[in-house]
Amino acid sequence: MLHLMKYHLIVKIKCMDVVFWPLVFPLILATLFYVAFGNIEEADFETVQTIVVEEADADPVFLEFLEAMEQGEGRFVEIRKMSEEKARRALDEKQASGIYFVGETPTLTVAGSGISESILQSILESYQNGKQTFQFVAEKHPEGMQKAMEQIGDYEALVEQVTLGGRTTNDNAQLFYALIAMACLYGAFIGMDAVFTIQANLTTLAARRCVTPTHKLKLILSEMLSCFLLHYLNVLILLAYLRFVLKQEFYGQMPRMLLVTLIGSMIGVSMGISVGSFGKMKEGVKVGILLAISMTGSFLAGLMSADMKYLVDQNAPLVNRINPAAVITDALYCINVYDDPVRFGRCLATLVVTCAVLTLASFLLIRRERYDSI
C-alpha cells in the first residue's frame, strides 16, 4: 500500500495541471488579496496640497483651524494662500487637491475624487461639526486651540471593533477564510485526475492498471489516500504562507484549524472523485461542473465580496448551511474571531457528515465498475 502511495504522489506532483489549481493558484490569489486589501490599514498618506482663498468676511476660527492642522502632528495638509484666479489655475494644473474658499461659511472646491479630496472634505466636516466648540475655545482659551485641533483632527481609529473574546475583527479576514475554503474545494481537481487513472473506460492508462494483479480495492484505497495526503499538504502550505509570509493573524487554536482544513481537503478530493466517476461525460464537461460548484460555493461564502455571505445568511440561510465553502469559512471564524464552541461544533458536524457522504459515494462509484470489454 505504501509503495503504491509513494508512486501515486510522485506522478501527481510531476503533473502541472494537478499542482497548479490546488496549490499555485490559491497562493497567487492570496498574494493579490494581500496587495489589494491586506495592508490597507497601514497606508501612509502623503501631505495634501491645499489652497486657501480668503474672502472679505473670512471666518478667522476656520483659518486658525487650518493652521493648526498644518502644524499639528502628522501634518495632513500643506496650505498656500492665493487669489481666486491663481487658485483655480493651480487646481486645473493639478498643483493642489482642493481650494478652501474661506468666507462667512467656508466651502471646498475639488477637481476630482480620491483619498486627498476625501481628507479635505473630512477636515471641513470636522470643523463644521465642532464649530461652536472651536469658537468657544478661540474666545475663552486661545492657548488651548492647538490641542483642540489635534484631538478633533486626529485620524487614528478611536473605536476598535472587537469580539466578546477581545480579538480584533478585520473585515478583510473574511476574504482569506473564504480563500482557504476555496483551496480545500480545489482538491476536486486532484480527485478527478485520480479517477482517470483508475476507471478503465476513461483512459488507456486506467485500462492497463485495471488488468494488473493488484487487487482493485487496494488500488482504489491507495489512490484515494494519496490524493487526500497530497491535497492536505497543499492546504498546509497555503496556511503557512498566510501566517508566516503575509502575516495574517490566526488567533485561535491551530490544531482546530488543521482539523477543519483536513476535513475540507477530503471533501474537495471526494467531490472530484464523485463527479469524475459519474456518467460518461467528457473531461472538459466534468472540469466545468467542478469549477461551477467550487466557485459558486466560494462566491456565496464571501470570496469575491465579504458582504455576499452576510446577504445569503440573511435571505437564504439554508444555502450556506449545506455549502461546504461557507461552512469551512464559518468554522474558521468560530476559531479565530467568534470563539463560539456551539457554532463551531455544528460546523464541524456538518463537515464530517458531508465528508463521509462524499467519500463513501466516491468509493462506491469507482468500486462498482465492471467491464466485459473496453
pLDDT value at position 279? 74
64 pLDDT band (50/70/90 cuts)?
A: confident
pLDDT value at position 61? 78
Q: How far apart are CA 9 and CA 13, in angstroms?
A: 6
pLDDT value at position 261? 96
Euclidean distance between the first and the last CA atom of the chain, given in angstroms as a whole number: 27
* Least confident span in 187-201, 205-219, 282-296, 341-355: 205-219
Domain limits, the chain: 2-39+168-367, 44-152
In this predicted structure, the answer to whether residue 256 has a pLDDT above a threshold of 60 is yes
Q: How far apart are CA 220 and CA 207, in angstroms?
A: 14
3-state secondary structure of 4: helix
C-alpha 139: how far from chain center: 50
The pLDDT of 308-321, averaged and rounded, is: 88
Distances (CA, A) of 235 to 257, 260, 329: 11, 11, 14
Q: Rg of the Cα trace of the chain? A: 30
Q: Are 26 and 179 in contact (CB under 8 A)?
A: yes
In this predicted structure, the answer to whether residue 171 has a pLDDT above a threshold of 70 is no
Q: Are 18 and 12 in contact (CB under 8 A)?
A: yes
Which is it for strands 48-54 and 98-102: parallel, antiparallel or unpaired?
A: parallel
Other CB atoms within 10 A of residue 179 CB: 23
Which carries the bigger pLDDT value, residue 201 or residue 324?
Answer: 324
Q: What are phi and psi of 100, to 5 degrees?
A: -95, 115
Which carries the bigger pLDDT value, residue 268 or residue 115?
Answer: 268
Q: Which residues contact 36 (CB under 8 A, 6 or more apart)?
A: none
Q: Are 135 and 61 in contact (CB under 8 A)?
A: yes
In this predicted structure, the answer to whether residue 304 has a pLDDT above a threshold of 80 is yes
pLDDT value at position 5? 87
The pLDDT of 190-203, averaged and rounded, is: 80
The grid cell for 227 is 490524493
300 pLDDT band (50/70/90 cuts)?
A: very high
What percent of the chain is modeled with pLDDT above 90?
Answer: 38
**Highest-confidence segment of 49-58, 66-75, 303-312:** 49-58
pLDDT per residue as tens digits for the range 236-253: 999 999 999 988 878 668
In this predicted structure, the answer to whether residue 158 has a pLDDT above a threshold of 70 is no
Label residue 182 exposed, middle or buried (CB < 10 Å: 0-12, 13-18, 19+): buried
Q: Which helix (H) or strand (E) holds 314?
A: helix 306-315
3-state secondary structure of 167: coil
128 pLDDT band (50/70/90 cuts)?
A: confident
The grid cell for 259 is 482539523
Q: How far apart are CA 249 and CA 243, in angstroms?
A: 6
Mean pLDDT over the full length of the chain: 82
pLDDT per residue as tens digits for the range 347-366: 999 999 999 999 898 888 87
Q: Which amino acid does the sequence have at 340?
A: D
How many CA atoms, within 13 angstroms, populate the side-chain half-sphere of residue 92?
6
DSSP structure class, residue 273: H
In this predicted structure, the answer to whether residue 60 has a pLDDT above a threshold of 60 is yes
Q: What are phi and psi of 97, to 5 degrees?
A: -90, -20
Note the pTM of the prediction, 2 decimals. Answer: 0.68
Which carries the bigger pLDDT value, residue 222 or residue 211?
Answer: 222
pLDDT value at position 43? 43
CATH classification code of 44-152: 3.40.190
